[in-house]
Amino acid sequence: MPLDIRIRFGRAIRRIREEQRINQEEAAERCGLHRTYYSGVERGIRNVSLVNLEKIAKGLKTGLPGLFSRV
């Protein structure tokens, strides 16, 4: 059975963040999200809204297609 989309998405944004050599706190700040919320997204325990998906894409300096192409 394939992994849940939330887990795959979380792993994808973690890879992007690590490529940019920033920690979760800095990523969350760039995205305009609380650190614990952002951490939950990376761990796949948050069901992210469209609004927050856009914030993450902008904060990590990639487009929405760039986020999902790695999922």
Q: What's the half-sphere exposure (Cβ side, CA atoms, 13 Å) at 50?
A: 0
Tell me how long the chain is: 71
In this predicted structure, the answer to whether residue 1 has a pLDDT above a threshold of 90 is no
Q: What pLDDT is stored for residue 70 in this prediction?
A: 84
- Structural domains of the chain, with CATH: 5-62 (1.10.260.40)
Through-space distance between the first and last CA atoms of the chain, rounded to whole angstroms: 15
pLDDT for the residue numbered 71 = 85
Q: What is the pLDDT of residue 43?
A: 97
CA distance 6 to 22: 21
* Average pLDDT value over all residues in the chain: 95
